[in-house]
Amino acid sequence: MLKEVVATRYIEPLRSGGSVPGIVEADDLGTYVVKFTGSAQGRKALVAEVIVGELARALGLRVPELALVRFDPSLGAHEPHQEVRDLLHASAGVNLGMDLLPGARDFTPEVARSFPVGSLEAGRIVWLDALTANVDRTVHSSNLMVWPTFGTAPARLWLIDHGAALVFHHRWDTSAPEKSYDFRHHALGHCAPDVRAADAELAPKVTDALLRRVVAEVPDAWLAGEPGFATPDEVRGAYVDYLRARVEASGAWLPTDFPTREELAAEEARRAARTRQGRPDWLKRVPDLHGKPAAEQDWSVHLG
């Protein structure tokens, strides 16, 4: 089972994502990035974090250690922003923590140019994302970290932030296990991911026993009250049944069409051009921060 710790100090919020996680110290002397039950994404995002994170770990992928973090909102009394205090106040009790990776770097397109990823490793990650319907690992937001970045230790890719996965649990009654998703803009699509080799390697490992062990990690309180289910164990059974069926249908959803880095760049350039053409003249002089990184903008025309 996931270990449970008690938060002893709330350090600061992280505003890079909509859920506004916080950095927290705990009584085991660890430092965690905590996702709160009171966030707008709700408890299902935490359920997805646990199931996908622990499944990835069982399959040999690198995921920071997860822990259940018992949080007292009074620890955030010093937080100056009311909306964050409201979030903390709504999150008393057990929340989800992910071990902080000190000094880790985001796997951005710039970092990717100097950090090669093998086709099999890329294939394993893409396969996991396709299995769990995680469409949130894109070239614009990879949810991958490069760590460690110090000394002689080799840097490795670490997987984070799976709260948007398992999209089927938002509409249990209309989801189809064989459904395919668009992974053309996956963060590792340019690495020629060998998803067929990954399927042959990983699919046999996703057994009923493994799935039952993974979903058992989810606290009852995060599953209670799910419409259409009488007990948390019934909900766990639904996750096991759905993911098993999805593994068996991998031939229908296995993504194989990935554009090259050059094709992606050309597509992005066309998108940026279309965006600018549709702007009024005065807006055409404002930098398109989505079309080109801020560091590459010619700010001199805007700053005089």
- Note whether 246 and 120 are same-domain residues: yes
Least confident of 142-146, 150-154, 242-246, 276-280: 276-280
- Note whether 150 and 68 are same-domain residues: no
Does 248 reside within a domain? Answer: yes
Report which of 120, 248, 260 is spatially closest to residue 186, judged by C-alpha positions: 260
Q: Which domain holds residue 14?
A: 3-99
Does 208 reside within a domain? Answer: yes
- Note whether 125 and 242 are same-domain residues: yes
Task: Examine the pLDDT at 292 and tell me if it is beyond 70.
Answer: no
**pLDDT per residue as tens digits for the range 33-89:** 999 999 999 999 999 999 999 999 999 999 999 999 999 999 999 999 999 999 999
Distance CA 162, CA 303 (A): 39
Task: Examine the pLDDT at 242 and tell me if it is beyond 70.
Answer: yes
**pLDDT per residue as tens digits for the range 187-210:** 999 999 999 999 999 999 999 999
- Note whether 121 and 215 are same-domain residues: yes
**Beta strands at 144-147 and 156-159: parallel, antiparallel or unpaired:** antiparallel
- Note whether 154 and 277 are same-domain residues: no
Distance CA 252, CA 181 (A): 10
- Note whether 126 and 247 are same-domain residues: yes
Distance CA 233, CA 297 (A): 53
Task: Tell me the pLDDT of the chain averaged across its residues.
Answer: 90
pLDDT score for 281:
63
pLDDT score for 289:
47
Distance CA 32, CA 66 (A): 9
- Note whether 118 and 210 are same-domain residues: yes
Handedness of CA 260, 59, 34, 232 (dihedral sign): positive
- Note whether 151 and 210 are same-domain residues: yes
> How many separate domains does the chain show?
3
Local confidence band at 299 (pLDDT 50, 70, 90 cut-offs): very low
Local confidence band at 302 (pLDDT 50, 70, 90 cut-offs): very low
- Note whether 95 and 113 are same-domain residues: no
Does 304 reside within a domain? Answer: no
Task: Examine the pLDDT at 284 and tell me if it is beyond 70.
Answer: no
- Note whether 219 and 275 are same-domain residues: no
pLDDT score for 210:
98
Residues 6+ apart with CB under 8 A from 265: none
**Reduced to 3 states, what is the DSSP secondary structure of residue 67?**
strand
Instruction: Say if residues 180 and 252 touch (Cβ distance below 8 Å).
Output: yes
Local confidence band at 153 (pLDDT 50, 70, 90 cut-offs): confident
pLDDT score for 287:
53
- Note whether 143 and 161 are same-domain residues: yes
pLDDT score for 236:
98
In angstroms, how far is CA 225 from the centroid of its own chain? 25
**Beta strands at 66-71 and 3-13: parallel, antiparallel or unpaired:** parallel
